[in-house]
Structure 1
Amino acid sequence: MKKWVAMIGFFGLLIGLSSCGQRNQTYEPEIKTDAKEVKLKVWVDLNQGDYYRSVVDDFKKAHPEKKYDITVIESESGRAQEYLQKDPESAADIFVTPHDRLGQMVESGAVYQLTKYTDEIKQENTPTSVQAATYQDKIYGFPTTSESMFMYYDKRVFSEEEVQNFNDITTKGKIGINLEEAGADFRETPWFMSNGSSLYGENGEDPYGTTFNSPEGVETLTWIANLQKNKNVVPVNADEINALRSGKINAVLSGVWNTEAIEEVLGKNMGVAAYPSADLGNGEVPLYAFQQCNIFCINAFTQYPLDAMALTNYLTSEKVQIKAFEELGKVPSNQMARKNEAVANDPVAEAVIEMTTEEHSVLMPKIPEMNVFWQHMNSLLVDAYKGKIPQTDFPKSLDKLVDEITPEKE
């Protein structure tokens, strides 16, 4: 989560790197489709190099017909486009990136449209992770994870039935939610979609399709603002672990990055569950979270596109995703990998898998306009919660938000 939130601020840099959707013409690679000696560079996320080097070794053993020289380098996945744009010739042929970078990468001509394995990608991965790897109906990436926030709770306070409903939770105990700080937008924005509003259209790719200023959007913002009156809803952020430890809260909306710390606090009393349902003003609905996927993409300037696709297909295969879960804790996007015993019997993975269904989450949009959205949404939510905006002004405030995040039509 920290990685994803930090990347939001990086979006502004990416805008300047785009050349109005035109491919960078300063470097044109010599494409080698039938080479017997292939040299590839792979960027993987930090602290994951050793694992993927072993995977690459397995790939090389499975393909003795070619001499592969493959280098695996740890890099910051959120900065992949910056590195690609600065020096495409020396950048990695294959790189992992959060899916919400994809629109900007396609628009700037940095990523290769896949010409092979697209049928397998569609058949083998969850529908939402396939959507994450797709932009304007073309597939540019190989899904490797599909994750979401979920809820941790203290089993001594709540039963499995009680954590299914927000009102039951706040009647029985205290829940911690980031409502006052940076990152509130990441957590609460999906609740507008829970109540029927759209962010950049139904599929997140229509820059003119935001309906947060609908009556349903006003209901959602009002519900969030009214949480301030509920003494059992506690604003937390970086202090959420200490809040659990002290008993200030008994449940928290968080993610896999906090599993170890929360398990240390709660031990055998740690429970995990999908987000609860709530009545935001128009009937009981499941509270959504943003679904996030990591995808492996191919550098548009690679000299070896066929070999790069073959290797990436292997890096994201069922058995590699299962092993990545076991060694790195990465929840798979591959549907068969999700049914593997090691994954299916893990309570945290089970909660993530439940959350990454259409009933509980919505894919974070991946169009470049999201940069503008993040600049405005957090302050609106925080100010509404803190009472800095009169509730009578909510319709006007949401009108202003939609106007600010919607580009002018040419």
Structure 2
Amino acid sequence: MKTWQKLLIGGASLALASSILVACGSKESKSSSADPKTIKLWVPTGAKKSYENIVKKFEKDSNYKVKVIESEDPKAQEKIKKDPSTAADVFSLPHDQLGQLVEAGVIQEIPEKYTNEIAKNETEQASAGAKYKGKTYAFPFGIESQVLYYNKSKLSAEDVTSYETITSKAAFGAKLKQVNAYATAPLFLSVGDKIFGENGEDVDGTNWGNEAGVSVLKWIASQKTNKGFVNLDDNNVMSKFGDGAVAAFESGPWDYEAAQKAIGKENLAVTVYPTINIDGKVVQQKAFLGVKLYAVNQAPSKGNTKRIAASYKLASYLTSAESQENQFKDKGRNIIPSNKTVQNSAAVQNNELAQAVIKMGSSSDYTMVMPKLSQMTTFWNESAAILSDTYNGKIKESNYLAKLKQFDKDLAAAK
């Protein structure tokens, strides 16, 4: 076990570290890095410039320098775990990586001061995304959910409240021949089934092997003969939207500009997911909610508690109301704030995309905070295969229940 791991596990729980941070550490300077007054920061790709002002403010207030490096969020876990001691002190990550980083001992519970601030200032769903097994390990700065994009020259606001109305008056597009489980698997949530239990942290808590789960697979299979449904793939979503082959599809904020370009800003509208009729029951279609986070990696500080404290302070600055407002207003970023005050600002209130995402992320009626368990790797692969094979007719209806029961067992046994 490396020295820094012994430190974190043996004596530097955050409860202890936070009480030490205010003390003078003459001995700690000997074990600190070659440049203890410089904090390495990994920000999302394309975000470096948008953080310039807040980083300068932190440097002035803290007397620490910050080395800002753009890094791909989805690879945060992989890069940090490879060698924590040479990785960033502070880094951005999608919340679903949190559990594995905590289990690996890479990140620790944050000081109580910041936990209280997050609970007070951030939305309930965003705060949940920063927690693992009841403890807060990171700082939220944005939320992300799929929403419904539609062409308002073809469909009215009333039409898009119902999937059945959309597909009777125009065409809805989605990827079912080759399923993206992130987009499609939450259909099981819509009928009351669970993914890793109520809070997404129970390994034995997936229960798709029931009649409700079977009804979802029947619905998936039925879309192949639905005249109002158009199967899409990764390469033709915008072209089909642009040429009118589909009038509505579901995606996240990352597709907003492309959707505007496809049909014209004047024709694009964005709203929450529609209701959907599955097995004769009208239910609210649900999605996964993603939470954007900043976390602190103590390893590069090599026991220097002042630098660790400064790293937490930097994470707090990066996720403050001021910073979140800036990230939202920055063109091309489309980061929907998780801070309640910023969500209530005029700029956010008057933004159609933001309002749709915020409503989707407002409660479990519309979304589930994506689980953080390492077993999600198995979940993505196996659920996508079942859903795709169902649409493509590779699974007989008589085998639906058995397939789903085996899926539940596979997840419970996954590591």
- TM exceeding 0.5: yes
* Deviation of the 1:24 alpha carbon: 5.2
Which among 328, 332, 344 is matched to residue 339 of structure 1?
A: 344
Which among 390, 395, 398 is matched to residue 392 of structure 1?
A: 398
SS of 2:193's partner is coil
1:223 aligns to what? Answer: 219
1:13 aligns to what? Answer: none
Is 1:120 paired with 2:117?
yes
Q: TM-score, normalised by structure 2?
A: 0.88
Taking the aligned partners of 1:382 and 1:208, their CA distance within structure 2 comes to 24
Stretch moving more, 204-213 or 248-257: 248-257
Amino acid at match of 1:54: N
Is 1:186 paired with 2:182?
yes
Stretch moving more, 30-39 or 250-259: 30-39
Taking the aligned partners of 2:98 and 2:163, their CA distance within structure 1 comes to 34
Q: Structure 1 265/82 Cα, relative in aligned 2: closer, same or farther at 3 Å? A: closer
List per-residue Cα deviations over 1:24-61 (Å, max 9, x = no partner): 55666798835797321110011111122321102223
Taking the aligned partners of 1:341 and 1:84, their CA distance within structure 2 comes to 38
Aligned-residue CA RMSD (Å):
2.0
Q: Structure 1 365/123 Cα, relative in aligned 2: closer, same or farther at 3 Å? A: same
Q: TM-score, normalised by structure 1?
A: 0.89
1:40 aligns to what? Answer: 39
SS of 1:271's partner is strand
Taking the aligned partners of 1:325 and 1:284, their CA distance within structure 2 comes to 35
Stretch moving more, 358-367 or 158-167: 358-367
* Deviation of the 1:176 alpha carbon: 0.5
1:291 aligns to what? Answer: 289
Which among 322, 346, 349 is matched to residue 319 of structure 1?
A: 322
Amino acid at match of 2:412: T
* Deviation of the 1:83 alpha carbon: 2.1
SS of 2:249's partner is strand
Is 1:200 paired with 2:200?
no
Taking the aligned partners of 1:228 and 1:126, their CA distance within structure 2 comes to 39
* Deviation of the 1:302 alpha carbon: 4.4
1:349 aligns to what? Answer: 354
List per-residue Cα deviations over 1:335-377 (Å, max 9, x = no partner): 1111111111111111111111222111111111111111211
Which among 219, 229, 233 is matched to residue 233 of structure 1?
A: 229
1:9-408 equivalence runs, <5 A: 25=3, 33=21, 34=24, 38-61=37-60, 63=61, 66-115=62-111, 116-183=113-180, 185-238=181-234, 239-267=236-264, 268-281=266-279, 283-303=281-301, 304-327=307-330, 328-358=333-363, 359-407=365-413
Does the 8 Å contact 2:4/2:299 carry over to 1? no
Amino acid at match of 1:287: Q
Show structure 2 runs of 5+ residues with no match.
30-35, 302-306
SS of 2:413's partner is coil
- Aligned-pair identity (%): 33
Taking the aligned partners of 2:371 and 2:358, their CA distance within structure 1 comes to 20
List per-residue Cα deviations over 1:298-351 (Å, max 9, x = no partner): 103242221111111111011110110001221011111111111111111111
Does the 8 Å contact 1:216/1:282 carry over to 2? no
Count of paired positions = 383
